[in-house]
Chain A
Amino acid sequence: MATLTKKITHTPYPELLSRDDVQHGKWRVGDCAPRRGVPQTNVVTREMLAPGEDTEFSRAIRAHEMMHAKVSPANDMLQWINRKVATHKALMVTEELRVNYLCTKAGFDMSKYLTDGSEQADGEKCVALRDWSSAIQMCIATVGTAAHKSFLTGIRRGDRQWGKLLLGIGKQALKEMKTAEQTGTLTSTVIDHGTGLFPRGFAHTERIAEWVDRLMDFNPDKKDDDEKKGEGKTGEEKTDESDETEPGHGEGGEPDEGDGIKKDLEKIKPTKPTGHIPSWGELRIQREPMPKITKGNLGKKRIATDIGKNPRRLTRIYTDPDKKIFDRIVRGKGGVVLIDASGSMSFSHAQIRQIVEAAPGATVAMYSECGKEHPNLWILAEKGKMCAVLPKANQNNGVDHPALEWAIKQRQRSSAPVVWVTDGGVQGMTGGNFEQLVIQCVKTCLKNNVVVVPHVDEAVALLKGMQRGVKAKRVWPPMFANVWQRQNGVRLPQ
Chain B
Amino acid sequence: MATKDTSALPACWQALDDCLNSGIDRIILYGPSGIGKTFAGLTMGNVEAGAHRLVCAEDMTSANVEGHFMQTDTGQLKWNYGAALLAWKGNGINGGRLIADEIDKAGGDVAATLLSMLDSPESASWNHPTTNEILKPLDGFSCIMTTNVEDMNELPTSLADRFPIRIRINEPHPNALKRLSPDLRPMAIRSADAGERRISLRAFYDFDKLRTVLGLERAAELTFGDRASSILDAIKIEAV
Of the four ranges (under 10, 10 to 19, 20 to 34, 35 or more), the interface on chain B belongs to: 20 to 34
In chain B, positions 87-142 with a C-beta closer than 8 Å to chain A are none
Question: What does DSSP make chain B's interface, helix, strand, loop or mixed?
Answer: helix
A59 CB contacts on chain B under 8 angstroms: 229, 233
In chain B, positions 187-225 with a C-beta closer than 8 Å to chain A are 187, 189-191, 193-195, 197-199, 203, 221-225
In chain A, positions 51-98 with a C-beta closer than 8 Å to chain B are 59, 62-63, 66-67, 70-71
B234 CB contacts on chain A under 8 angstroms: 12-14, 16-17, 66
A24 CB contacts on chain B under 8 angstroms: 189-190, 193
| Contact segment of A3-11, A295-303, A340-348, A430-438 | A3-11
B186 CB contacts on chain A under 8 angstroms: 18
User: Do A29 and B233 form a contact, CB below 8 Å, given A3-B226, A16-B187, A16-B238?
Assistant: no
Contact A4 B195 (CB under 8 A): no
Docked Cα-Cα span, A59 to B234, in Å, equals 11
Contact B238 A17 (CB under 8 A): yes
Shortest Cβ gap from B205 to chain A (Å):
13
Tell yes or no: A107 within 8 A of B by CB. yes
A70 CB contacts on chain B under 8 angstroms: 237-238, 240
CB < 8 Å neighbour of A27 from B194, B226, B230, B240: B194
B198 CB contacts on chain A under 8 angstroms: 15
In chain A, positions 15-63 with a C-beta closer than 8 Å to chain B are 15-18, 24-27, 29, 59, 62-63
Residue-by-residue, is A280-324 near B (CB-CB < 8 Å gives 1, otherwise 0)?
000000000000000000000000000000000000000000000
Tell yes or no: B57 within 8 A of A by CB. no
User: Do A2 and B237 form a contact, CB below 8 Å, given A15-B197, A16-B191, A29-B197?
Assistant: no
Contact A187 B240 (CB under 8 A): yes
Write the chain B residue with the least CB distance to A11.
B230
Shortest Cβ gap from B145 to chain A (Å):
24
B239 CB contacts on chain A under 8 angstroms: 106
CB < 8 Å neighbour of A106 from B223, B227, B231, B240: B240
Of the four ranges (under 10, 10 to 19, 20 to 34, 35 or more), the interface on chain A belongs to: 35 or more
Contact B194 A10 (CB under 8 A): no
Shortest Cβ gap from B177 to chain A (Å):
14
Docked Cα-Cα span, A15 to B230, in Å, equals 12
Contact A1 B233 (CB under 8 A): no
Tell yes or no: B77 within 8 A of A by CB. no
State the B residues within 8 Å of A (CB): 186-187, 189-191, 193-195, 197-199, 203, 221-227, 229-231, 233-240
State the A residues within 8 Å of B (CB): 1-5, 7-8, 10-18, 24-27, 29, 59, 62-63, 66-67, 70-71, 102-103, 105-108, 187
